[in-house]
Structure 1
Amino acid sequence: MVNKAKEDIATAPHSFEAFFKKLIDYAGLFPPTQLPLEEAIHHYASYIHSCEAWMIGPFVCPASQLEKLEPYLELFSSEKPLAISALGRKAENERETIKLFKDDLASIEHFQLKHGTKVRVNQFELPLPSLNITAEFMNEVGKRSSRHHITCYCEFPIHKNDRFWEQKLAKTALLISQQNQSRFYSIGGKLRTGGIKASLIPDSNIVGSFIYHCKEHKVPVKFTAGLHHPVRLYRSEVQADMHGFVNVFVAGLMAYQHHLDKESITEILQEKDAKFFSFQNEKITWRHLEISTKEIMRLRKEYLHSYGSCSFETPRSEFKDLNMIERG
């Protein structure tokens, strides 16, 4: 037993590796990079064949544009397939949202059957029409997701001036949680954490509320937009503070590990000093809080999934420059 314990310690990944595993979904088609399809798909193919392929998740592509990928499928194989997170279309009401969702799922099924094991579409990102959704709507989303063996992330719309927004957010998280209790393929939540101008960046209280209520109801989450940099900082191009992906995911991890309230989560989101984050062999620490590599692996797999970024290089290079990794 002692030898087995030593072996487990020796083979356990560094906390950095547990944190970064499949962390970044590649969204090169979207702003601010907004590459042409040919360039973006060639980048993705090179990434999944690189030594850092373990850090990258699926290629984010609108479901309505899947057929445009066909000329580039020769870049992929059964061993290195084109993994896709399909992006749905936004509608004004529940009925139209379900109709578009149904059509997109049919397109996905056709695309997968046509190209076999070279492609894998396991994720769908569905913009919710509002946060006033009904149980019937969420049940329909759950049924269709399960039928197509796909994980659906429902994007929570943000209305900064709605004083009841957090109550609606909590209700939506509860409805998702109730669906997840009865289905094998889970539904997740998705939040936009930035954009190309300051007005598109939600404040820390909004992001903190999302993390807190999804944690309370054990709703898996992903994020998108704005998380190009590791730690929160002011950026002149948007003339505002931008959220850091280390802040966001460490806040989520610590929220689960230490049962944090919203205020404590928000405090981590607002941290601007990288020296207070430390990635050590067997744990990550932030100030007085810590979480083991084992728990990081579990929580990343179950609840804190990934974030979409239009760049795969920038987050990795900036993280390296901050020297937050401790070895030995």
Structure 2
Amino acid sequence: MNPIFLRLFDDAAIFPPGDLPIPDAVKAYRERQLSPLEPLLGPFVCSLARLDELIAAAAAGGRPLPVSLVLPGPDLAAVPAASTAIDVVAIEAPGLIGRGGTRSAYREVAWAEITATRVAALRDAGLRLKIRTGGVRAEAFPTEKDLAEALCRATEGGVPFKLTAGLHDPIRHRDPLTGFEHHGFLNVLVATAHAVQGGGAGEIAAALADQDGHRVAAAITTIDDGLAREVRRQFVSFGTCSISEPVDGLLQLGLLPEGIL
């Protein structure tokens, strides 16, 4: 498997528009852990408000479930102690000012507010960046220029980032039902490759804007293992309420081994 895809998909199945019941989502995650899809899996994403429900479902069996915990605010005292059912490996919250131990900690910042000064402050605090790339309104989706500028600043500042919302499809496209322009996660990988190699915002925006799936897939295959590691140190993962959709997209483009499902 191409190393650029390892641990790329954070499982946000319980969030809209997936809204899978927690027991069903945990069962599906456990099944993928025992399948050839396991190397693709990031942590299971859960809000603090539903943590007790998650612990009850995860306690039914299996090794501790790796969890990225979404807090409503910066209060790290809300993070639970160690549990035999779950392992909180990451924290996501607005307004974070400290890491809270050895866990990865992501501060959500609106893409329009990602400045060089703010990125430097995150780096100095040992924090990572969470960028929202979609939602239920058109204005929640950054343009390719907006996202390119955010990726440039994060990369230049040495701050790893994760993305969330609107990234189920590998390739940039317009949703036929909503009319919203969605970014493609393969586009983001190619754009990040340009960024870590010193590419400018125009070059990065062009990679984000490309809607030719075969051309974007071909660009992915030119990224060698060393560059793939650099890309993924920067672009850590993205939250998706569907694991099957991005996997299906990669299969259709010939970027995953046959028989992985």
Q: How does 1:13-28 map to 2 (within 5 A)?
A: 14=1, 17-28=2-13
Percent of residue pairs identical: 26
TM-score, normalised by the number of residues in structure 1: 0.73
* Per-residue CA distance 1:126-178 (angstroms, 9 max, x = gap): 123xxxxxxxxx6xx22xx24x321111111245xxxxx45xx2211011122
Query: 1:274 touches 1:324 (CA, 8 Å); kept in 2?
Result: no
CA separation of 1:20 and 1:75: change in aligned 2, threshold 3 A: farther
What amino acid sits opposite 2:224 in the alignment? S
For residues 61 and 6 of structure 2, the distance between their equivalents in structure 1, rounded to whole angstroms, comes to 21
TM-score, normalised by the number of residues in structure 2: 0.90
What amino acid sits opposite 2:194 in the alignment? M
Instruction: Name 1:66's counterpart in structure 2.
Output: 51
Q: Which runs of 5+ in 1 are unaligned?
A: 1-13, 90-96, 129-137, 160-164, 181-186
Aligned with 2:198 (options 234, 253, 259): 259
Instruction: Name 1:154's counterpart in structure 2.
Output: 107
Instruction: Name 1:119's counterpart in structure 2.
Output: 86
**1:44 partnered with 2:29:** yes
Q: How does 1:168-207 map to 2 (within 5 A)?
A: 169-180=115-126, 187-207=127-147
For residues 198 and 40 of structure 1, the distance between their equivalents in structure 2, rounded to whole angstroms, comes to 28
Aligned with 2:67 (options 84, 90, 93): 84
Instruction: Name 2:223's counterpart in structure 1.
Output: 291
* Per-residue CA distance 1:17-72 (angstroms, 9 max, x = gap): 21110000000111111122222222222221222111011000012321112322
Q: Secondary structure at the match of 2:228?
A: helix
**1:276 partnered with 2:183:** no
CA separation of 1:158 and 1:303: change in aligned 2, threshold 3 A: closer
Q: Secondary structure at the match of 2:20?
A: coil
* Per-residue CA distance 1:107-144 (angstroms, 9 max, x = gap): x22xx2xx33x42111000123xxxxxxxxx6xx22xx
What amino acid sits opposite 1:239 in the alignment? G
For residues 61 and 153 of structure 2, the distance between their equivalents in structure 1, rounded to whole angstroms, comes to 39
What amino acid sits opposite 2:103 in the alignment? I
What amino acid sits opposite 2:248 in the alignment? S
Instruction: Name 2:164's counterpart in structure 1.
Output: 224
CA separation of 1:76 and 1:53: change in aligned 2, threshold 3 A: farther
For residues 59 and 36 of structure 2, the distance between their equivalents in structure 1, rounded to whole angstroms, comes to 20
CA separation of 1:70 and 1:278: change in aligned 2, threshold 3 A: closer
In the alignment of these two chains, the number of paired residues is 258
Aligned with 1:237 (options 177, 180, 185): 177
Aligned with 1:250 (options 186, 190, 199): 190
Query: 1:278 touches 1:325 (CA, 8 Å); kept in 2?
Result: no
For residues 257 and 209 of structure 2, the distance between their equivalents in structure 1, rounded to whole angstroms, comes to 23
Q: Secondary structure at the match of 1:59?
A: strand
For residues 225 and 55 of structure 1, the distance between their equivalents in structure 2, rounded to whole angstroms, comes to 18
Query: 2:111 touches 2:147 (CA, 8 Å); kept in 1?
Result: no
- Looking at CA atoms only, which structure, 1 or 2, has the larger radius of gyration? 1
Q: Secondary structure at the match of 2:45?
A: strand
CA separation of 1:171 and 1:42: change in aligned 2, threshold 3 A: same
